[in-house]
Structure 1
């Protein structure tokens, strides 16, 4: 639940100021955002499974974002679009976590009937 509240607060805070990110930083920001979303969906999933640990969430949130951005930067310097691998991996993990969250919600709704 705390991850969901944090996600909503982050979205609201992100909508208030008008921030323009230069296009050369787009690959770095895209993988960093995907890494953060992966951590948020993982936190929601673990919270629903009664297995949430704040220290794991916080370290994963910032660690995944920094690692993904660093890999995108390294790939950029090498001339290889490594950020695409991060996009595929984090995208897949987000959809996996969403599928598990959906199943948990359906099971919870069925148990209340």
Structure 2
């Protein structure tokens, strides 16, 4: 629940505050944001499954963002678009987590409807 509230606050701040990111930093920011979203969806999945751990979430949130931005930077220096690999991996994980969250929510709604 905390991750969901944080996501909503972040979206609201993003819509209300006008921050311009230079084009040179766009690949770094895009993979960092995807990495953070991956962590948020993972936290939502863990919360629904009743095994959320804040330290795991925080280490994944910041660790994934730094690693993804670092890989994008390394790829930029080498002239290889490594950030695309991070986009594919994090994108796949986000969709996978969303699918699991959706299934868990449907199962929870069904069991609530039956009165379990």
**TM-score, length-normalised on structure 1?**
0.98
Per the TM alignment, residue 53 of structure 1 is displaced from its structure 2 partner at its CA by 0.3
Per the TM alignment, residue 109 of structure 1 is displaced from its structure 2 partner at its CA by 0.5
Query: Superposed, which structure 2 residues align to 1:60-71 within 5 Å?
Result: 60-71=60-71
- Mapped partners of 1:96, 1:69: distance in 2: 22
Give the corresponding residue for 2:77.
Answer: 77
Unaligned segments of structure 1, at least 5 residues: none
Q: Which runs of 4+ in 1 moved over 3 A?
A: none
Give the corresponding residue for 1:44.
Answer: 44
Per the TM alignment, residue 17 of structure 1 is displaced from its structure 2 partner at its CA by 1.3
Q: Is 2:18 the counterpart of 1:11?
A: no
Give the corresponding residue for 2:92.
Answer: 92
- Mapped partners of 1:18, 1:6: distance in 2: 19
Unaligned segments of structure 2, at least 5 residues: none
- Mapped partners of 1:5, 1:17: distance in 2: 18
Moved more, 6-15 or 99-108: 6-15
**TM-score, length-normalised on structure 2?**
0.96
- Mapped partners of 1:45, 1:107: distance in 2: 13
Report how many aligned residue pairs link the two structures.
113
Give the corresponding residue for 1:54.
Answer: 54
